[in-house]
Amino acid sequence: MGLTFKEIVEKVKTQFPDSIVSTQEEVIQPWFETKPEILNKVCRFLKDDIELDFDFCESISGVDDTKNLWVVYHLTSLRKKHLIILKTKTERENSQLPTVMDIWKTADWQEREIYDLYGIKFDGHHDLRRILLPEDWQGHPLRKDYKFPEDYDGIPLR
Amino acid sequence: MKEFIEHLYNELEFLEGLPFIIPFIIGSFILAFIIINFIAVFAGVCTYIERKVAARIQARVGPYMVGPHGILQWLADALKLLFKEDTVPEKADKLLFKLAPFIVFAGSFACWVALPLAPAFSPARLNIGILYIIAFGSSVILGILMAGWASSSKWALFGAMRSAAQIVSYEVPTGLTILAMLLITGTLDMHNTIAQINLDGTISGGQSQGLPFPLNYFSTNADNFSAGMFSWYIFRYPPFTFIAFIIIYICALAETNRVPFDIPEAESELVSGYHTEYSGMRFSFFFLSEYANMFVFSAIITTLFLGGWLPPFNITGSLLAPACGIILYMLVKGKTTDPANRFIAFCTGAGIGIFLGVLSGDKNYWFADYLGIQSLRFIEGLFWFFTKSFGLVILMMWLRWTIPRYRVDQLMELCWKKLTPLAFINLFCIGILEWLYK
Amino acid sequence: MPGIKTQEILVNMGPQHPSTHGVLRLVIKTDGELVTEVTPIVGYLHRCAEKIGENVTYDQWIPYTDRMDYIAAMGNNLGISLAVEKLLGMEAPPRAQVIRVLVCELNRVASHLIAFGTFGLDVGAFTPFLYAWREREMILNLFEMLCGARMTFNYIRIGGISFDIDQKFIDKTKEFIEWFEPRIKEYNDLLTYNRIFVERTAKIGIISPERAISYGLTGPNLRASGVNFDVRKDFPYCGYEKYQFNIPLGRDVPEIGAVTGDCWNRYYVRIEEMIESIKIIKQTLENIPAGEYYDAPKKIKPKAGEVYTRIENARGIVGFYIISDGSEKPVRAKVRAPSFINLSILPEIGKNVLVADLIAILGSIDIVLGEIDR
């Protein structure tokens, strides 16, 4: 079997000493938070390190906790059969995060989805457009402060 | 047909004052009307049969509600198509768009005129019959291109381009194979093609005398051998004429846009190909012409290979075949419930019956002759011609519902890299054999 | 011919097109028959099911998950149920666990039958589709017997299942298996080894293992590329570790010219998975433990926390990421939709192929638009 959560965090810590903002172990599924500035580097390390080997980015989710916007990465190693949950935080206004598209191609559409529904901009994404909603839609519906519009292009929605 | 009208002209007194041209034109129109209706009904019935064949293959029931066993479904469909709105896309080239279905239909319709449907009967007997059919058959492509271009839809354009490439390419192996068969028949007249076959295995008027290798072995060594179906052109030079038959059948599938070559109207790729934008009556013209074309090609193959309106078995064989078939069917019936096995049993029985008929040496082929009623020959000939052609049409349907579709490049590869060289070699070999056995 | 320049045309394939499996729109640039660029445009069915999830209680959301992957809805029911059960810190009773596996595998067979049939349609073979439909109909009848619904079941609930199964259902299922097993050979005869079919699908749309992993492909699409990863084996849930079954993988088949990761393999892995699913179904039917089939707290109100669970559905990994704040409704209910992520590889492998190949590739990925758009 693969590494435990502690071992993985330890490895990341040795590589990037000040990257980890916080860790949560006393929950159902432990996770750690990293700084957005070096997110890309951490992800690159998680994928390229021979022991960590997180080759499979299973899911990227946006989360709104009413104060901040979060992006949660569920990573899996297909060979080592271990997983890790990585979180990163950004403020509500002008939310920006680096893309991980260059590390896992699957981030392309998943980041577009998060951009569409949360409005988080991913720096370096090659084609950051809305994906599920129409291109001229106003607002980002999964934000907690989202107001459902009265109409869309003159079509009443209520 | 001209003779027939001439005959009437001379017989009927009230026509006396008129110049011949007037009754001729009127007669032609009446004949054209009859044929066009016949084709419409025929194609309609074809669609019903196609749907039933498809349903049988796909473990369904098929049309069932209109008339007994849904036999009037095609009429209901035709009515529906008649009453549908005739839509013309806004950006279409109106004139070409409206004209295209008629050109397509005219192309396949005109071919029917020269088909030898029964002994001494075809709507118009042409001495260049086969050339005429090939020429008019190819004119269908003009209409398809027009339809594709005028629709101003990309799918239609795609379909039309594919169709043009496909039909023009497959003209080559078709032409070469027909050429090879013309070497044997020695005539372009489709009537003579069949009329010169003698059912004892010789061809009168043509170049070949007697059965060639290896069938001559039977005919010369056994006096009580009756050639029957073995006098057809397909059994002329065994391996080569078989190959020719297969080549032309594949080409027929391609030229009528049937599976596995239904690329021009590939539903899953091009929506509907060149007739995507058509509706109502105009669409039904494309539809009709598809079925009319299928029959025309089957009829050509029947004429060139399967002896046209000639009966395949002698009378003994014709009587023994169903008898043996039913006997074997009855024997098997109690033992198996699988309809396929029962069918196989029936076919085996029929085969045994035919074989016994061949061995019996019976030299009578026409029931009409046997009964002494010459006019019955017409009906008998019509029956055999339609049975054979229809057999080929049903085979086309069977293929359609069984196999997937080729891709454009694979289709072209098959045509240019496989069928065309094969047709050339075949032509060459048949030429040599014809030269040797002349 | 070199030197001759042709004009590229822009074609809109869909949202109304016979083979886009729903309302997918592909904007394709073609140079004659050659597709030079393909851009999928999705979202025509978007209902923001995740937003709905935040506004309804946990068990109210289950019917909405049915409508995501409506072809294999049991898996979605199971996914959300497992996630909430984990949040609650409970497990479904053993009887429910076995029945869950049973219905999920039945649903997998039904789903793969559709994949098989529609893939045949995409390459122009109509008949296999109706054969697949015939067998699927039997499975749907079984489900109807089970819970009254044929496609959107709402059957697997938090804490168990909604209705118990009876002997009649078990007998009918056995009857179905008896009928179904010889049919696989029929499919293979009719389509799998048909020469035209092989020519249309072998060596088309090859996805290398690295690329498949990088694009996050899961399910048969990933395994057809030769990557041995199946949640049922690697991270078992619902007692999958107790069952004997193999994971079919894509491989080179030199006799017919298929290579790992091509359309033919993606198709054939599904056929083989049906056989494996039947194996599992047989084993579940052998021993269904007696006892409770539903055991959930009166009020489903998990403690604050978050959980991500995944299950192996017919199209790949369905993941549910649920965050609870201790109330009756989740704060965040996210679905990892396998079709959505599988489709994202299309622009990559749909380049420089013929139009007909693009259809074959799209068909082999086997998408469900309800799940892509959510």
Q: What is the pLDDT of residues C228-243, one digit of tens each?
A: 888 888 888 888 888 8
Task: Give the whole-angstrom CA distance, residue B278 versus residue B151.
Answer: 8
Helices and strands: H and E segment counts in chain C: 15, 9
Model confidence band, residue B228 (pLDDT cutoffs 50, 70, 90): low
Answer whether C308's CB lies under 8 Å from C299's CB. Answer: no
pLDDT value at residue B421: 92
Model confidence band, residue B132 (pLDDT cutoffs 50, 70, 90): confident
Task: Give the whole-angstrom CA distance, residue C279 versus residue B208.
Answer: 65
C69 has pLDDT over 80? yes
Chain A and chain C share a number of CB contacts under 8 A equal to 90
pLDDT value at residue A141: 86
Contacts of C54 in chain A (CB under 8 A): 142
Task: Give the whole-angstrom CA distance, residue A64 versus residue A139.
Answer: 14
- A75-93 CB burial, b ≥16 within 10 A, e <16: bbbbebebbbbbbbbbebe
* Inter-chain touch A109–C323, beta carbons under 8 Å: no
The nearest alpha carbon in chain C to B61 belongs to: C130
A48: closest CA of chain C, how far (Å): 13
B206 has pLDDT over 50? no
Neighbouring CB atoms inside 10 A of B95's CB total 10
Closest in C191, C194, C356 to B269, CB measured = C356
B409 contact C CB<8A: yes
Q: Which residues of C touch A (CB under 8 A)?
A: 42-43, 46, 48, 50-51, 54, 86-87, 211, 213-216, 227, 229, 234-235, 305-308, 310, 317, 319, 321, 323, 331-332, 334, 336, 340-341, 343-345, 348, 373-374
Q: State the chains in contact with A (3 or more Cβ–Cβ pairs under 8 Å).
A: C
* Inter-chain touch A132–C42, beta carbons under 8 Å: yes
C:133-172 residues touching chain B, CB 8 A cutoff = 134
Q: Do chains C and B touch (3 or more CB pairs under 8 A)?
A: yes
Closest in C134, C190, C354 to B408, CB measured = C354
Tell the residue number behind the tokens 């039917």, with chain if given. C285
**What does the block give as tokens for C85?**
């059960």
pLDDT value at residue C109: 92
Which one-letter amino acid corresponds to residue C325? Answer: D
Q: How confident is the model over B315-325, as a mean pLDDT?
A: 80
Model confidence band, residue B207 (pLDDT cutoffs 50, 70, 90): very low
Residue-wise pLDDT for C139-189, tens only, equals 999 999 888 888 888 888 888 888 888 888 889 899 899 989 888 888 888
Answer whether C366's CB lies under 8 Å from C115's CB. Answer: yes
- Of A16-20, B145-149, C133-137, minimum mean pLDDT range: A16-20
Task: Give the torsion through C-alpha atoms of B16, B22, B23, B28, to 10 deg.
Answer: 170
Residue with the larger pLDDT of the pair C81 and B108: C81
* Inter-chain touch C354–B410, beta carbons under 8 Å: no
Q: Which of B417, B421, B418, B380 is nearest to B119 (CA)?
A: B380
Task: Give the whole-angstrom CA distance, residue A14 versus residue B359.
Answer: 96
- B19-50 CB burial, b ≥16 within 10 A, e <16: eeeebbeebbeebeeebeeebbebbbebbbbb
Q: How confident is the model over B188-205, as a mean pLDDT?
A: 69
Answer whether C11's CB lies under 8 Å from C358's CB. Answer: no
Answer whether B277's CB lies under 8 Å from B221's CB. Answer: no
Contacts of C51 in chain A (CB under 8 A): 141-142
Residue with the larger pLDDT of the pair C89 and B438: C89
**What does the block give as tokens for C186?**
């029929």
Answer whether B262's CB lies under 8 Å from B150's CB. Answer: no
* DSSP code for B407: P
Q: Do chains B and A touch (3 or more CB pairs under 8 A)?
A: no
Task: Give the whole-angstrom CA distance, residue A98 versus residue A109.
Answer: 15
A149: closest CA of chain C, how far (Å): 14
Q: CA separation (Å) from B82 to B22, B36, B356, C21?
A: 33, 16, 52, 31
Answer whether B279's CB lies under 8 Å from B83's CB. Answer: no
pLDDT value at residue C22: 78
Q: State the chains in contact with C (3 or more Cβ–Cβ pairs under 8 Å).
A: A, B
Q: How confident is the model over B51-75, as a mean pLDDT?
A: 85
Closest in C125, C131, C355 to B269, CB measured = C355
At residue C111, φ and ψ (nearest 5 deg) are -70, -45
* Inter-chain touch B271–C17, beta carbons under 8 Å: yes
Q: Which of C329, C10, C18, C295 is nearest to C158 (CA)?
A: C295
Closest in A28, A58, A104 to C319, CB measured = A58
Q: How confident is the model over B316-325, as a mean pLDDT?
A: 80
Model confidence band, residue B72 (pLDDT cutoffs 50, 70, 90): confident
Task: Give the whole-angstrom CA distance, residue C225 versus residue C241.
Answer: 24
Those residues with Cβ within 8 angstroms of residue C134's Cβ, 6 or more apart along the chain or in another chain: B59
Q: What ipTM was predicted for this assembly?
A: 0.87
For chain C, list the domains and their CATH numbers: 11-16+19-25+39-373 (1.10.645.10)
Coil/strand/helix, residue A72:
strand
For chain A, list the domains and their CATH numbers: 5-149 (3.30.460.80)
Those residues with Cβ within 8 angstroms of residue C176's Cβ, 6 or more apart along the chain or in another chain: C138, C139, C142
- Of B8-22, B408-422, C255-269, minimum mean pLDDT range: B8-22
Answer whether C155's CB lies under 8 Å from C290's CB. Answer: no
Contacts of C19 in chain B (CB under 8 A): 267-269
B374 has pLDDT over 80? no
B223 has pLDDT over 50? no
Q: Which of B302, B327, B328, B271 is nearest to B381 (CA)?
A: B302
* Inter-chain touch C18–B59, beta carbons under 8 Å: no
Helices and strands: H and E segment counts in chain A: 3, 9
Contacts of B60 in chain C (CB under 8 A): 130
Q: Which of A44, A36, A37 is nearest to A15 (CA)?
A: A44
Those residues with Cβ within 8 angstroms of residue B306's Cβ, 6 or more apart along the chain or in another chain: B232, B234, B388
Task: Give the whole-angstrom CA distance, residue C70 versus residue C75.
Answer: 10
Model confidence band, residue B224 (pLDDT cutoffs 50, 70, 90): very low
A110 contact C CB<8A: yes
Contacts of B267 in chain C (CB under 8 A): 18-19, 124
Closest in B54, B57, B268 to C359, CB measured = B268
* Inter-chain touch C359–B54, beta carbons under 8 Å: no
Neighbouring CB atoms inside 10 A of B185's CB total 25
Point out which residues pair with A96 in neighbouring strands: A121
* Inter-chain touch A141–C51, beta carbons under 8 Å: yes
Answer whether C343's CB lies under 8 Å from A106's CB. Answer: no
* Inter-chain touch C191–B404, beta carbons under 8 Å: yes
Closest in C121, C126, C197 to B401, CB measured = C126
Q: How confident is the model over B43-55, as a mean pLDDT?
A: 86
Neighbouring CB atoms inside 10 A of C89's CB total 10
pLDDT value at residue C1: 57
Which one-letter amino acid corresponds to residue B249? Answer: Y
Task: Give the whole-angstrom CA distance, residue B105 versus residue B32.
Answer: 13
* Inter-chain touch B404–C194, beta carbons under 8 Å: yes
C206: closest CA of chain B, how far (Å): 17
What is A10-34 written as a DSSP string?
Answer: HHHHHHSTT-EEEEE-SSSS-EEEE
* Inter-chain touch B401–C17, beta carbons under 8 Å: no
B382 has pLDDT over 60? yes
Q: Which of C61, C361, C50, C45 is nearest to C217 (CA)?
A: C361
Residue with the larger pLDDT of the pair C251 and B269: C251
C200 contact B CB<8A: yes
Model confidence band, residue B352 (pLDDT cutoffs 50, 70, 90): confident
* Inter-chain touch C344–A108, beta carbons under 8 Å: yes
C18 contact B CB<8A: yes
Task: Give the whole-angstrom CA distance, residue C215 versus residue B86.
Answer: 47
B52 has pLDDT over 80? yes
- Of B154-158, B232-236, B408-412, C275-279, minimum mean pLDDT range: B232-236
Those residues with Cβ within 8 angstroms of residue A42's Cβ, 6 or more apart along the chain or in another chain: A12, A16, A19, A34, A86
pLDDT value at residue B201: 56
Task: Give the whole-angstrom CA distance, residue B130 versus residue B128.
Answer: 6
Answer whether B122's CB lies under 8 Å from B116's CB. Answer: yes
* Inter-chain touch A27–C344, beta carbons under 8 Å: no
Answer whether B180's CB lies under 8 Å from B237's CB. Answer: no
Q: CA separation (Å) from C238 to B150, C20, C208, C363?
A: 60, 34, 31, 31
Q: Please report which residue ranges of B256-375 form alpha helices under DSSP H.
A: 267-270, 280-305, 315-333, 339-360, 367-371
Task: Give the whole-angstrom CA distance, residue C301 versus residue C331.
Answer: 12
